[in-house]
Amino acid sequence: MSVLDDLTTPSASADPFSVFRALRESDPVHWSEAHRAWLITRYDDVSAAFQNKAFSNDRVRPVLERKRQSGAESAATGVLGLMTGWMVVNDPPVHTRLRKLAAGAFKGQRIAAMDAMITRIVDEHLDAFLRGSGPQDLISEVAYPLPATVIATMLGAAPEDRDRFREWSDELALVAFGTGGAARADRHERALRGLREMESYFHTLIEKRRAEPGEDMLSALMAKEGDDRLTDDELVGMCALLLFAGHETTTNSIANSVLALLRHPDQLDRLRRDPALIGPAVEELLRFDGPIKVLNRWVVAETEVRGRTIRPGERVHLVLASANRDPEKFAAPDALDLGRSPNPHVAFGKGIHACIGAQLARMETRIAVARIVERLPGLALAEEPEWKDVLASRSMEKLVVTHS
Amino acid sequence: MRIGVDNEVCEAHGQCSIVDMDLFPLDDDGYSAVGPDREVPEGEEDTARLGVDACPVRALKVLS
């Protein structure tokens, strides 16, 4: 079948939605040679896949085992070992236990109580942005530093340590996604050294909280649940996961939302006239151009999707960004309608692995978008953004705007 | 305060359970196990409202 199925070409990165539309229409469960994976693009199939026990999240352990067998250097296997413990790459019952132990820290009331702290951090970044004039990058100045600062503050880190959280977040992404190339090998080495620092930093922070518990999220993660609690190594892993999963995704949620509003001035006006619309507006912005294009699963048992047999050992890409534009689920899916309701998008996934930080991500995006819209009335796009050629995330290089 | 779920409407998004997995339990397939009518423990009313509001398909309701 001659359907375009490489999602990492510059044209597919610039406009993935026309590629997704063609896939949904011509071959919704498609084997892609380019990705060596199945591309699942319709809402119903993506939705069902989240509940299909033939699809496993245990994706890092096989990579780690291969590396160990080939005698790869210990630093890389050390970081992979840390990631192997993340709940997001585990199946039940390991996943169930970790998720239960983490759930208390993400409870609705606890997240809602962070409102004032997040608003203050957003306003600090916008104050600095407003002091600048001419074209500025809203990502590097606001959307990128913001979530790392929120995570560092949430974990109770000292203000002077916050910049290191950003570096660690970049280093985690490099180790998780980055491979090949001599220049990259050098960066990889430095990233691994940085992450060893991160581990010892979190161990020290845990010891401090043990001696002196606080109201912060780390103290909440350390709490007992029944007879069980997270070990120190699991806590370090949880802190790293929080940073890895909560940083770039939130940056892109904010940046993609602002871009979508700038491209739909009628909807931007609508939000300015009715700021109370921010809740449903953010749901629609997440549906319309959310931060994640693709989630992966390993196939561990033979299963059938829309008549296609999918076999153990194969990989499946669940294309969230396509499911969210499926006309069988959403009326006029390519239109941005900030009042859309109901809006059962799958930007946060679904089922047992649904993003545990969804409430926090929503709140950060709501506050950031609302404050940007309110405080930057003259906001305008200064140049066409370029999209990164990556499979998993929907991510711009820069979002250059003017505000007066 | 009482809450309930319409299991004909629930699509297993799991967003309620993120708000509070004790107030909004899920079954093994990720669907709400709140049942048609459940009492909210005293002091948990605000959390219950947050969980009901988090449902993207409005399968959850505050009954009284």
Q: What is the pLDDT of residue A62?
A: 81
Q: What is the pLDDT of residue A75?
A: 67
Among A379, A372, A370, A374, residue whose Cα is nearest residue A115: A370
First CA to last CA distance, chain A: 50
In a domain, A4, yes or no: no
Tell me the pLDDT of chain A averaged across its residues.
93
Q: Which of A45, A109, A115, A343 to mutate to test the interface with B (most CBs of B within 10 A)?
A: A109
User: Residue B14 — very low, low, confident or very high, per pLDDT cuts 50/70/90?
Assistant: very high
**A313 φ/ψ sector (left φ>0, alpha ψ -120 to 50, else beta):** left
User: Residue A18 — very low, low, confident or very high, per pLDDT cuts 50/70/90?
Assistant: very high
Q: What is the pLDDT of residue A197?
A: 93
Q: What is the pLDDT of residue A185?
A: 72
Share of residues in chain A with pLDDT > 90 (%): 83
In a domain, A207, yes or no: yes
Q: What is the pLDDT of residue A219?
A: 95
Under 8 Å between Cβ of A156 and A105: no
Of residues A47, A109, A358, nearest to B18 (C-beta)? A358
Report the DSSP beta bridge partners of residue A308. Answer: A305
Of residues B13, B47, B50, nearest to A344 (C-beta)? B13
A224-240: b (≥16 Cβ within 10 Å) or e: eeeeeebeeebbbbbbb
At residue A87, does pLDDT exceed 60?
yes
Q: What is the mean pLDDT of residues A307-311?
A: 97
Q: Distance (Å, rounded) from C-alpha A302 to C-alpha A298?
A: 11
Largest Cα–Cα separation, chain A: 62
* Residues on B contacting A at a C-beta cutoff of 8 Å: 11-15, 17-21, 26, 29-30, 46-47, 50-51, 54, 56-58
Looking at the structure of chain B, the number of domains it has is 1
**CA B19 to mean position of chain CA atoms:** 9
Using an 8 Å CB-CB cutoff, list chain A residues near B51.
108
Q: Could you tell me the CATH number of the domain that includes residue B32?
A: 3.30.70.20
Dihedral sign computed on CA atoms, order B35, B41, B45, B46: negative
In a domain, A3, yes or no: no
Q: What is the pLDDT of residue A183?
A: 59
Report the DSSP beta bridge partners of residue A303. Answer: A310
At residue A292, does pLDDT exceed 90?
yes
User: Residue A73 — very low, low, confident or very high, per pLDDT cuts 50/70/90?
Assistant: low
Q: What is the mean pLDDT of residues B1-22?
A: 96
Q: Which of A350, A353, A362 to mutate to test the interface with B (most CBs of B within 10 A)?
A: A350
Q: Is the peptide bond before A159 cis (omega within 30 degrees of 0)?
A: no
A137 is in which domain, residue-wise?
10-402
Token pair recorded at residue A185: 């090998």
In a domain, A5, yes or no: no
Q: What is the pLDDT of residue A1?
A: 52
B17 is in which domain, residue-wise?
2-62
Q: What is the mean pLDDT of residues B30-53?
A: 96
First CA to last CA distance, chain B: 5
Q: Distance (Å, rounded) from C-alpha A47 to C-alpha A319?
A: 10
Per-residue pLDDT tens over the stretch A351-387: 888 999 999 999 999 999 999 999 999 999 999 999 9
Q: Distance (Å, rounded) from C-alpha A296 to C-alpha A278?
A: 30
Q: What is the pLDDT of residue A191?
A: 85
Tell me the pLDDT of chain B averaged across its residues.
95
Among A162, A157, A168, residue whose Cα is nearest residue A190: A168
Q: What is the mean pLDDT of residues B17-39?
A: 94
- Put simply, the answer to whether B56 touches A345 (Cβ < 8 Å) is yes
Torsion from C-alpha of A178, A90, A392, A37, nearest 10 degrees:
90
Per-residue pLDDT tens over the stretch A136-149: 999 999 999 999 99
DSSP secondary structure letters along A175-211: HHH----HHHHHHHHHHHHHHHHHHHHHHHHHHHHHH
Q: Could you tell me the CATH number of the domain that includes residue A218?
A: 1.10.630.10
Count of beta carbons in the 10 Å neighbourhood of residue B35: 11
Radius of gyration of chain B (CA): 10
Under 8 Å between Cβ of A382 and A135: yes
Taking the CA of residue B28 and the nearest CA in chain A, the distance in Å comes to 9
Say if strands A315-319 and A37-40 run parallel, antiparallel, or are unpaired. parallel
Q: Distance (Å, rounded) from C-alpha A7 to C-alpha A10?
A: 9
Which residue from B minimizes the CA distance to A342?
B57
**CA B40 to mean position of chain CA atoms:** 10
At residue A72, does pLDDT exceed 90?
no
Per-residue pLDDT tens over the stretch A194-210: 899 999 999 999 999 99
**CA A376 to mean position of chain CA atoms:** 26
At residue B8, does pLDDT exceed 60?
yes
Looking at the structure of chain A, the number of domains it has is 1
Q: What is the pLDDT of residue A184?
A: 67
Q: What is the pLDDT of residue A178?
A: 62
Element containing residue A249 per DSSP (H, E): helix A248-263
Dihedral sign computed on CA atoms, order A8, A11, A17, A21: negative
Taking the CA of residue B50 and the nearest CA in chain A, the distance in Å comes to 7
Using an 8 Å CB-CB cutoff, list chain B residues near A51.
12, 29-30
At residue A187, does pLDDT exceed 60?
yes
At residue A167, does pLDDT exceed 70?
yes
**CA A221 to mean position of chain CA atoms:** 20
Match 């001659």 to its residue by tokens. A2
